[in-house]
Amino acid sequence: MKKRKKLRIKSWKRFVSYSLACLILISASIIGCGFAIAHIVTATESQAATSSDETQTALAENNTSSSETQSNALQSIAQNTSPTVTLDASEPAQDDPYADIKERLRNNDTEGLKVVFLTFDDGPTPYTPEVLDMLASFDLKATFFTNHHKGSDAAANYCRIVSDGHVLANHTSSHLYDFYSDPTLFMGDVQSLRDYQIQVTGVEPPKIFRFPGGSANANTACVQAILDAGYTYADWNVIAGDGSSSVPEPSVITQNIIDGCHEHDVSVVLCHAELKENTRAALPAAIETLLAEGYTFLPMEEGIPYPHQLEV
């Protein structure tokens, strides 16, 4: 058996030096690894934290973006909501509860109908808001045959007639009969008011016309001119009786309107409620009675045949 050779330390001094060197190297390695691990852990945590922050920031930005989108949408809606009425052609038309009646009116199939067209001439005046309030209290729509009246109060009244859903109709700018002698001048008087109505209200009113004094005071040339320009013209078949300077008592006007409407399937009532106090006082009782009797009040529309004093 081979005898194992004994390990002898020849130089203790060299042994201690080597041992110390190894110890230092091992310690340095451990410390270095420790630093390296610590650095990696810190870096990972930092990256995770940064990622989390970025996620939160992104979410916050998304929320902000969402808020901004909603805000922009609301602003857009607000900007698109103008005081004038605009209809979206893509939306289906709302059901008109009077569609059947209007169809019969257009076809002149009026027997047994109980329809009233209230018409107010020569305004607007400072009393127009009072008339509009009265109509609103009954939820009724009417037709206002207006002339040209200047001033901010008049402008506000034209606008409210439209915004309340009534018909802003044409009764010439000047109300002068003189223009009947020249159809061109007459149509200029009609167009002048239409331009003013559009300028003041921002909307094009329907082409519904009443001759000053009625078509009986005009002539066939002017009637033809108004038809050629695309207007539907309307006279009346019921009078409140307030056209002259001597205005009847309110009770008489009320009875005039009720009795007149009883005589027709379709009544067009002429009155001057924006001018005459007694007419304003008379109207509520007349409306209440006729509503209770089953009458329907409608605003005028183009294309419906209304009473004519003069035809062509």
Would residue 272 show up in a list of annotated catalytic residues for this protein? Answer: yes
**DSSP conformation class of 179:** G
Q: Is 146 strand, coil or helix?
A: strand
Stretch that binds Zn ion, among 64-72, 114-122, 136-144, 297-305 (CB under 5 A): 114-122
166 Cα distance to chain centroid = 14
Q: Is 84 strand, coil or helix?
A: coil
104 vs 166, beta carbon nearer Zn ion:
166
Rule CB under 5 A: choose which of 104, 122, 172, 197 binds Zn ion. 122
Catalytic residue among 262, 264, 272, 308: 272
# residues near Zn ion by CB under 5 A? 3
Catalytic residue among 88, 95, 121, 182: 121
145 vs 297, beta carbon nearer Zn ion:
145
Helix ranges (H only) for the chain are 12-80, 99-106, 128-138, 152-163, 183-201, 220-228, 250-262, 277-292
Rule CB under 5 A: choose which of 119, 121, 131, 269 binds Zn ion. 121
Helix ranges (H only) for 85-182 are 99-106, 128-138, 152-163
Residue nearest to Zn ion (CB): 121
C-alpha–C-alpha distance, residues 203 and 200, integer Å: 8
Q: Are 166 and 142 in contact (CB under 8 A)?
A: yes
Q: How far is the CB of 88 from Zn ion (least distance, A)?
A: 37
Residues 290-309 that bind Zn ion (CB under 5 A): none
121 vs 235, beta carbon nearer Zn ion:
121
Q: How far is the CB of 174 from Zn ion (least distance, A)?
A: 11
212 vs 248, beta carbon nearer Zn ion:
212
- Spatial neighbors of 289 by CB under 8 A, at least 6 apart, are 254, 258
Q: How far is the CB of 213 from Zn ion (least distance, A)?
A: 7
255 Cα distance to chain centroid = 38
Q: Is 178 strand, coil or helix?
A: helix
Q: How far is the CB of 110 from Zn ion (least distance, A)?
A: 26
Q: How far is CA 294 from CA 136, 202, 256, 297, in A?
A: 19, 36, 18, 10
Cross-strand bridge partners of residue 170 = 146, 209
209 vs 295, beta carbon nearer Zn ion:
209
Q: How far is the CB of 86 from Zn ion (least distance, A)?
A: 31
189 interacts with Zn ion by CB under 5 A: no
Indicate the helix (H) or strand (E) that contains 168: strand 167-170
258 vs 300, beta carbon nearer Zn ion:
300
Would residue 39 show up in a list of annotated catalytic residues for this protein? Answer: no
Retrieve residue 21's tokens.
């060197």
Q: Exposed, middle or buried: residue 193 (CB in 10 Å: 0-12, 13-18, 19+)? A: buried
Q: How far is the CB of 97 from Zn ion (least distance, A)?
A: 31
283 vs 290, beta carbon nearer Zn ion:
283
The contact mask relative to Zn ion for 202-241 (x = CB under 5 A, - = no) is: ----------x-----------------------------
Q: How far is the CB of 163 from Zn ion (least distance, A)?
A: 24
Helix ranges (H only) for 81-219 are 99-106, 128-138, 152-163, 183-201
**Positions that interact with Zn ion (CB under 5 A):** 121-122, 212
Which residues have a catalytic role annotated? 121, 272
